Amino acid sequence: MDFGFLSEYWTYFLKGAWLTLQLSFFGVLFGTILGIGIALLRISKIGILRFLASVYIEVIRGTPMLVQIVIIYYGLTNFGINLPPFTSGVIALTINSAAYMAEVFRAGINAIDKGQTEAARSLGMSHGMALRHIVLPQAFRNMLPAIGNEFIVIIKDSSLVSFIGIADLMYNTQTVYSTTYRTFEALLVAAAVYFVMTFTLSKLLGLLERKLSAS
């Protein structure tokens, strides 16, 4: 094996990793926000809202992310909507992440003792205030490991956005090995970079989880 190409092409991997982290960050951030909203619809007392939330979750989880990416980037052009590749990637990751995060939040909310909500209501809090100040903070702390796992999954799955020309880590890796003809070595470097990103993130999230547990 010859990794001599790294002296010339290491910046490709660095820039690709940075763009991958950006895509993943925004995908999980917006996915978490949207997921909370869908989770609240999922536990709503209004049947049609529960039904719509369930349909969204099942459809998104039941279709490949690559198909979702292609529909957003290419399919929406049929309706006169032309989105930049990066925006399309973020939207696709957000939509996909939200479906999984909604179920995570729903489970986390349901795990909180209902007596706490009843106590908050007896103190004069509205249902929304009880959720915002009592239930969601506790649920978020309990769900932090699941949120971290979703972040790691999104980092790996974001490689699919290279299909629409986003210069993420996988796209730049393809550029390197198509130029240097060092396919195996370039893929090994990409795998190492993905591992460093996910391993570092898992350790940071573990540290945060321990601090929250201690508090």
User: Does any domain span residue 2?
Assistant: no
35/94 Cα distance (integer angstroms): 9
Where residue 4 falls among pLDDT bands split at 50, 70, 90?
A: confident
Average pLDDT, the chain: 87
| CA of residue 70 relative to chain centroid, distance | 18
State residue 110's pLDDT score: 77
State residue 215's pLDDT score: 60
90/95 Cα distance (integer angstroms): 9
Tally of CB atoms within 10 A around 167: 18
* pLDDT above 90 (res 23): yes
User: Does any domain span residue 127?
Assistant: yes
2-41 b/e (C-beta count within 10 Å ≥ 16 → b): eeebbeebeebbeebbebbbebbebbbebbbebbbebbbb
Q: Mean per-residue pLDDT for 18-31?
A: 93
* pLDDT above 90 (res 52): yes
Task: Kindly report which listed range (35-39, 111-115, 151-155) carries the lowest average pLDDT score.
Answer: 111-115
CATH at 81 = 1.10.3720.10
Residue type, 15: K
State residue 151's pLDDT score: 86
| CA of residue 112 relative to chain centroid, distance | 24
In tens, the pLDDT along 90-109 reads 999 999 999 999 988 888 77
User: Does any domain span residue 85?
Assistant: yes
Residue with tokens 């007596």: 115
> What is the model's pTM?
0.85
* pLDDT above 90 (res 1): no
* pLDDT above 80 (res 70): yes
Q: State the burial class of residue 156 (Cβ atoms within 10 Å of its Cβ: 0-12, 13-18, 19+).
A: middle
Domains in the chain, number: 1
User: Does any domain span residue 35?
Assistant: yes
121/79 Cα distance (integer angstroms): 47
User: Does any domain span residue 3?
Assistant: no
* pLDDT above 90 (res 145): no
User: Does any domain span residue 4?
Assistant: no
* pLDDT above 80 (res 68): yes
* pLDDT above 70 (res 214): no
Domain residues for 23? 10-214
In tens, the pLDDT along 194-212 reads 999 999 988 888 887 777 6
Quickly list DSSP for 52-74: HHHHHHHHHHTS-HHHHHHHHHT
Residue percentage of the chain with pLDDT more than 90 = 50
